[in-house]
Amino acid sequence: MTSWTRRELGIGAAALGSALGPARAQAKPRVVVIGGGIGGATAAKYLAAGNALDVTLVEPQSRYATCIFSNLYLAGLWSLESLTHGYGTLAERYGVTVVKDAAAAIDPAIRRVRLAGGASLAYDRLVVSPGIAFQFGEIDGYDEAATEFMPHAWSAGPQTRLLRARLEAMEDGGVFVIVAPPEPFRCPPGPYERASLAAYYFKQFKPRSKIVILDVKDSFYQQEVFRDGWDRHYPGMIEWLPARSTGGVKAVDVRAGLVRTGRETIRASVTNVIPRQTAGAVAHSAGLVDARGWCPIDPETFESRLLPGIHVVGDAACAGDMPKSAFCANAQAKACAAAILTALTGARPSRLHLLNTFYTFLAGNDAMGDAAVFTPADGTIKRSGAFLTQAGEQPETRRRTAREAVGWYDAFTRDVFG
């Protein structure tokens, strides 16, 4: 595998955008984009940027809160408002028609999307970016209603506020239990960053408190780096328990705050259960998912392997080695937009690099910045190069990375939302 430096992987969004190339002037074909998260908003912007397509974005919410850096909100370091973005620039600057509604059904035979409000939209190409849905019921006692007592906070917004309120109200000396989900799931480092930043908050305001991570896995992403950070910043505060030592989480009692594993029952002051995940609901109803619950796609164009004329980007897609991350959704949407422009307008075909760059915080001034390059190959997408943070890096390196992360977030969200 090729070794890459951080600088070599820092390819800017503008360069990616320019690779889409000019579109041939003609009557505008219609493209509908379902979902205004990172993948959908990026796709809508880059499809509309050349003014060659009539682009409509369907999204029920008027503003979108990023899961990126939402753990910083839980730690009291960022506000939720600072993580929240609207669609005004997409509409005003790029000419995207933003429809505040939800997609109720897709009819691929006549190429129409029916909206929950009763209207319907015709399309020549459809981009579906539905994000994730949760599979409740695997843990006895944990259903959708239980999220009001044991929030998952894995979609930013009200659930994130609820978990923050629970942590603020928790007594000093309490136990915060995080139930980490099985793979694949959105943001592989997320549960462990959450533990880190909850510990950062506790260290300042509730120093006798403990965090227990009950994992369904026996290892996790960048485990050595996280464990090193926990030992340095929060000795004795975070306990990670793999499935082999607990027998897995079996049941919860939301009223009593109990979590039962295969070997013991833990009384938690606050419990954060992150359920198993699958593609968003509209992908299931449209017939875009396979037996695994995710959407198989062409690795070059992100066109569905099950329904021609429909493209899937973001967390819902089966994208080979690409993790389910915001930056991956952004990169996939750009590649998808380029493919659609080529198909509908005859624009010059372009082959884009599929990148992933993200930052993960271990403390307020300690962050790791990982990056990777992916390449379509052998019918799937494979990782072809990477830069990974290492355990034992100098404190100044981590402080510099934490500062870089702030600028990265600003540039990234401007690229997505205009």
Q: Which domain holds residue 397?
A: 2-131+280-413
Tokens standing for residue 12: 């800017």
Let me know: does 160 contact 73? Beta carbons within 8 Å. Answer: yes
Instruction: For residues 51-73, give the mean pLDDT.
Output: 98
173 in the same domain as 91: no
Nearest by Cα to 313 from 327, 379, 112, 194: 327
Let me know: does 324 contact 187? Beta carbons within 8 Å. Answer: yes
394 in the same domain as 348: yes
408 in the same domain as 296: yes
Task: Confirm whether 216 is domain-assigned.
Answer: yes
Q: According to the model, what pLDDT value does residue 191 have? A: 98
Please state, as a whole number, how many other Cβ atoms lie within 10 Å of the Cβ of residue 397: 15
DSSP 8-state secondary structure symbol assigned to residue 304: B
Point out the domain boundary residue: 231, 250, 271: 271
Instruction: For residues 352-375, give the mean pLDDT.
Output: 95
Contacts of 372 (CB under 8 A, 6+ apart): 4, 9, 355, 356, 383, 385, 386, 387
Tokens 């129409």 locate to: 112
Distance CA 354, CA 376 (A): 9
24 in the same domain as 7: yes
289 in the same domain as 402: yes
* 92 pLDDT higher than 50: yes
| Model confidence band, residue 353 (pLDDT cutoffs 50, 70, 90) | confident
Please state, as a whole number, how many other Cβ atoms lie within 10 Å of the Cβ of residue 26: 10
Point out the domain boundary residue: 220, 253, 271: 271
* 227 pLDDT higher than 50: yes
Task: Confirm whether 150 is domain-assigned.
Answer: no
Task: Confirm whether 141 is domain-assigned.
Answer: no
198 in the same domain as 167: yes
- E strands within 90-233? 97-99, 103-107, 112-115, 120-122, 125-128, 132-135, 175-180, 210-215
* 391 pLDDT higher than 70: yes
Task: Confirm whether 138 is domain-assigned.
Answer: no
Task: Confirm whether 151 is domain-assigned.
Answer: no
pTM over 0.85, yes/no:
yes
DSSP 8-state secondary structure symbol assigned to residue 185: -
> Cα–Cα distances in Å, from 286 out to 43, 137, 166, 195, 292?
20, 23, 37, 36, 15
Three-state secondary-structure class, residue 243: helix
DSSP 8-state secondary structure symbol assigned to residue 92: H
Q: Which element (helix H / strand E) includes 34?
A: strand 30-34
Q: According to the model, what pLDDT value does residue 182 have? A: 97
Distance CA 394, CA 304 (A): 45
Contacts of 106 (CB under 8 A, 6+ apart): 34, 112, 113, 114, 126, 128, 282, 285, 286, 310
Task: Confirm whether 313 is domain-assigned.
Answer: yes
262 in the same domain as 286: no
Q: According to the model, what pLDDT value does residue 8 have? A: 36
> Cα–Cα distances in Å, from 352 out to 20, 109, 336, 338?
9, 30, 10, 8
406 in the same domain as 295: yes
201 in the same domain as 113: no
* 70 pLDDT higher than 60: yes
Phi, psi of 115, rounded to the nearest 5 degrees? -95, 155
Phi, psi of 283, rounded to the nearest 5 degrees? -65, -35
Q: Starting from the edge strand earliest in sequence, which strands make up the sheet with 120-122, in order? A: 103-107, 112-115, 120-122
* 152 pLDDT higher than 70: yes
330 in the same domain as 256: no
Three-state secondary-structure class, residue 77: coil
75 in the same domain as 100: yes
Task: Confirm whether 47 is domain-assigned.
Answer: yes
408 in the same domain as 287: yes
Q: Specify which residues 386 forms β-bridges with.
A: 3, 372
Average pLDDT score, the chain: 93
How many folded domains does the chain comprise?
Answer: 2
Let me know: does 418 contact 90? Beta carbons within 8 Å. Answer: yes
Three-state secondary-structure class, residue 104: strand
Tokens 């503008």 locate to: 14
Task: Confirm whether 305 is domain-assigned.
Answer: yes
Point out the domain boundary residue: 215, 244, 271: 271
Query: What CATH number does residue 254 fall under?
Result: 3.50.50.60
Q: Write the pLDDT tens digit of every residue in 173-194.
A: 999 999 999 999 999 999 999 9
